[in-house]
Amino acid sequence: MSDRTGLLEKAHVLDEADPLRDFQDRFLTPDGADVVAYLDGNSLGRPARALPERMHRFIHQQWGQRLIRGWTDEWLNWPEAIGDRLGRAALGAAPGQVVVADSTTVMLYKLARAAVAARPGRREIVLDTDNFPTDRYVLEGIAAERGLVLKWIETDPAAGITDEQVAGAVGPDTALVVFSHVAYRSGYLADAEAITRTAHRAGALVLWDLCHSVGSVPVHLDSWDADFAVGCTYKYLNGGPGSPAFGYVNERHHGLAQQPIWGWMGHREPFTMGPGYQPADGIRGLLSGTPPILAMLPLLTGLDMLDEAGIEAVRAKSSLLTHYALELADAWLFDRGVQLASPREPERRGGHITLRRADFREVTGLLWQRGVIPDFRAPDGIRIGLAPLSTSFVEVHNGLCALHQLVDERGKP
């Protein structure tokens, strides 16, 4: 019991010392306090308290007043303008290389197709077995469509893709390599700069999936010399369910790498409505159809908060959160049949950790009943996602304490 008190005290001390502590009040919390610990902000971030007012204002003052004129007032520029903001706040990307549009899946398809078309004659796409399903499926589809070959790297699901593995897989026939910067299961943080260099040395292009890093781990697309990147905005960026994705195309590929969905919004002159597709210059050519303006409003609120907090401070808190979660697991879980399926080294860890035990599918259901909301990842992983702006150390304590009690009640499976 004294052990437990000590760890709770520690959570209070960490919360006291947390420079981002005040951000917790910027989020809406469920009525009636039925949520004890939200440990899934890496799957769906919480809504900002400022959001209803912002949506209300937009509907009344912009949509309601400006009507169709809103498009030429400013909405047509939102994909690039918000892309630039995102590039500056979270991606290490100079202006003119990021757009907000589509879903991650569709954007990934467009970028991967553009990439393989930019490496004619090369027949291989290198990917890994533990990437997120949509990434694997989209690349399977492209391989089938273009007559390409997928070269699979077997990744350890408790770790992730290493530079050595990539060096052993790429060669003169590699057109493209696609990996996640932070692995969706283990939270492994790949050495993106080294892997990009290794792929380039073989003449291949690189596409990074940033879904689990954007807004949590600093990303430096320009200085890594990345070619393409994609990510979603509803995880650590609090963009809301189904908010649009972003796509990054390094400036050196503009006008050369062509995406496959030729729509009017990516046309050089959309309102001429003339015959024949001509892509717009620059990143605008990555657009296809009408951008989802309403669905970008929560992202603006998320970016306001990220700008204010700063990504380096967010990362610093994120590292403390995962460190503290590991400390609790060390005290309470690893001697009870629970295994860590995430890296212990802080520099290889993203913003979440995964814990495994044979009965964790069932345990997840029981946790949800008790107001503790992590994610379950097949076959037996509970993923503890720790969104730095909205999660307190006491919340982590209370969530893992509930897990500890359940594990104790049930005995070893």
Show binding-site residues for pyridoxal 5'-phosphate. Answer: 104-105, 132-135, 209, 212, 234, 264, 290
> Which residues inside 98-117 make contact with ligand PLP, applying CB under 6 A?
103-105
Nearest distance, CB of residue 242 and ligand PLP, angstroms: 8
Sign of CA dihedral 55, 60, 65, 68: positive
Q: Which of 26, 85, 113, 235 is catalytic?
A: 235
If you search the block for the tokens 């200085």, which residue do you land on?
Answer: 223
Kindly tell me which residue out of 97, 180, 318, 398 binds ligand PLP, with binding defined by CB under 6 A. 180
Kindly tell me which residue out of 212, 348, 349, 356 binds ligand PLP, with binding defined by CB under 6 A. 212
40 binds ligand PLP (CB under 6 A): no
b/e code 296-316 from CB counts within 10 Å (16+ = b): bbbbbbbbbbbeebebebbbe
Residue number, 128 or 395, with CB nearest to ligand PLP: 128
Separation CA 265–CA 243 (nearest Å): 19
> Which residues inside 223-282 make contact with ligand PLP, applying CB under 6 A?
232
Residue number, 104 or 238, with CB nearest to ligand PLP: 104
Q: Cβ distance 264 to 273 under 8 Å?
A: yes
Nearest distance, CB of residue 93 and ligand PLP, angstroms: 19
Residue number, 32 or 133, with CB nearest to ligand PLP: 133
Binding region: 104-105, 132-135, 209, 212, 234, 264, 290
Kindly tell me which residue out of 38, 75, 109, 132 binds ligand PLP, with binding defined by CB under 6 A. 132
Establish whether 209 is a catalytic residue.
yes
Separation CA 144–CA 108 (nearest Å): 16
209 binds ligand PLP (CB under 6 A): yes
Q: Cβ distance 97 to 86 under 8 Å?
A: no
Sign of CA dihedral 196, 190, 237, 17: negative
User: Which of helix, strand or coil describes residue 46?
Assistant: coil
135 binds ligand PLP (CB under 6 A): yes
Q: Cβ distance 300 to 82 under 8 Å?
A: yes
Residue number, 90 or 406, with CB nearest to ligand PLP: 90
Q: Which of 40, 84, 130, 209 is catalytic?
A: 209
> Which residues inside 182-201 make contact with ligand PLP, applying CB under 6 A?
184
Q: Which of 27, 109, 234, 324 is catalytic?
A: 234
Kindly tell me which residue out of 211, 296, 326, 341 binds ligand PLP, with binding defined by CB under 6 A. 211
Kindly tell me which residue out of 24, 29, 62, 134 binds ligand PLP, with binding defined by CB under 6 A. 134
Establish whether 348 is a catalytic residue.
no
Separation CA 22–CA 316 (nearest Å): 16
Half-sphere exposure of 101 (CA within 13 A, CB side): 31
Establish whether 132 is a catalytic residue.
yes
Q: Which of 46, 185, 348, 383 is catalytic?
A: 383
Residue number, 211 or 333, with CB nearest to ligand PLP: 211
Q: Is 65 exposed, middle or buried (0-12, 13-18, 19+ CB in 10 A)?
A: exposed
β-strand 339-340 against 124-128: which pairing, if any?
A: unpaired
Sign of CA dihedral 400, 403, 408, 413: negative
Q: Cβ distance 385 to 39 under 8 Å?
A: yes
Nearest distance, CB of residue 35 and ligand PLP, angstroms: 21
> Which residues inside 341-370 make contact with ligand PLP, applying CB under 6 A?
none
If you search the block for the tokens 């905005």, which residue do you land on?
Answer: 233
> What are the C-alpha distances in Å from 349 to residues 58, 189, 203, 308?
39, 5, 29, 24
Residue number, 104 or 196, with CB nearest to ligand PLP: 104
Please count the residues of the chain: 413
Establish whether 334 is a catalytic residue.
no
Residue number, 132 or 224, with CB nearest to ligand PLP: 132
Q: Which span sits near ligand PLP by CB under 6 A: 131-139, 163-171, 340-348, 364-372?
A: 131-139
Q: Is 104 exposed, middle or buried (0-12, 13-18, 19+ CB in 10 A)?
A: buried
* Size of the residue set binding ligand PLP (CB under 6 A): 12
Nearest distance, CB of residue 406 and ligand PLP, angstroms: 27
Establish whether 234 is a catalytic residue.
yes
Q: Which residues are catalytic?
A: 132, 209, 234-235, 383
Tell me which residues touch ligand PLP (CB under 6 A). Answer: 103-105, 132, 134-135, 180, 184, 209, 211-212, 232
